[in-house]
């Protein structure tokens, strides 16, 4: 939620929906485990990763909220991590590319990439 506020995302106004989805296991993120290679290279210091209280996890600054029928209600990727395939990967891992209408202004190109 802090990044939503810091980046002045309009999704901050959907925090109740986001929290409900989290409680209902309909919110998804991408995490990776720390490997020795990552530890030695200090990859955790990369600005693309979010801080996590759970040691050894790399969490990307992105999340997806799905409806009970597996449509995408919200997908958000931090400004610092956009255009790197994180949103597309998140949807692929969730096994869905169907958005709930209406599609937000400015995200048309993202969604059209799935219909090609």
- Give the model confidence (pLDDT) of 14-63 as tens digits: 788 888 998 999 998 877 656 666 556 565 555 555 555 555 566 778 88
Q: Please indicate, yes or no, if residue 20 is contained in any of the structural domains.
A: yes
- 82 and 110 Cβ atoms separated by less than 8 Å: no
Q: Does residue 109 lie in a domain region?
A: no
Chain position carrying tokens 């980046």: 7
pTM of this prediction?
0.72
Asked whether residue 116 is assigned to any structural domain, the reply reads no
The model's confidence at residue 66, banded by pLDDT at 50, 70 and 90, is very high
**Runs of H (alpha helix) within the chain:** 2-6, 15-23, 36-41, 86-94, 108-112
Q: What is the mean pLDDT of residues 100-104?
A: 83
Residue 90, in any domain of the structure: yes
- Residue 23, pLDDT score: 92
Distance CA 92, CA 86 (A): 10
Domain count, the chain: 1
Please check whether residue 47 lies inside any domain of the structure. yes
Confirm whether 86 is domain-assigned: yes
Residue 25 belongs to a domain: yes
Q: Is 30 within the bounds of a domain?
A: yes
Please give the residue range of the domain that contains residue 70. Answer: 2-102
């Amino acid at each position: 939620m802090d990044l939503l506020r810091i980046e002045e995302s309009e999704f901050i106004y959907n925090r109740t929906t986001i929290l409900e989805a989290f409680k209902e296991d309909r919110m998804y993120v991408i995490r990776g485990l720390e490997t020795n290679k990552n530890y030695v290279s200090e990859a955790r210091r990369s600005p693309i990763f979010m801080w996590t209280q759970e040691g050894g996890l790399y969490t990307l600054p992105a999340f997806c909220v799905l409806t009970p029928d597996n449509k995408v209600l919200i997908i958000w990727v931090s400004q610092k991590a956009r255009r790197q395939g994180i949103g597309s990967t998140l949807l692929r891992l969730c096994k869905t590319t169907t958005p709930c209408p209406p599609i937000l202004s400015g995200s048309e190109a993202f969604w059209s990439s799935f219909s090609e």
